[in-house]
Amino acid sequence: MFEIELNGAPHQIHDKQNVEELIAELSLAGKAVAVAINREIVPRSAWPQRQLQPADRVDVVRAIGGG
């Protein structure tokens, strides 16, 4: 296990975890979310291939409708 920064807070994850697995762990699979790693947007199509690394800064933003 190692630590990343998730939305500004420390977060422990398993070795070789990818973005898709992180989103599922956060119960956000299938939701309208955007992910940036180290200030770079990661397209949803790249989530399964993008492995998380120690000290990555991950920002997950959830789209919320309203009016």
Q: Where are the domains of the chain?
A: 2-62
pLDDT at residue number 65: 74
- Backbone CA torsion sign across 15, 53, 2, 12: negative
Fold of 2-62: Ubiquitin-like (UB roll) (3.10.20)
Q: For the whole model, what pTM was predicted? A: 0.90
pLDDT at 52 over 70: yes
Confidence of residue 25 (pLDDT cuts 50, 70, 90): very high
As a whole number, mean pLDDT of residues 23-34 equals: 95
pLDDT at residue number 64: 78
Structure tokens at 29: 């699979």
Whole-angstrom distance, CA of residue 58 vs CA of residue 52: 9
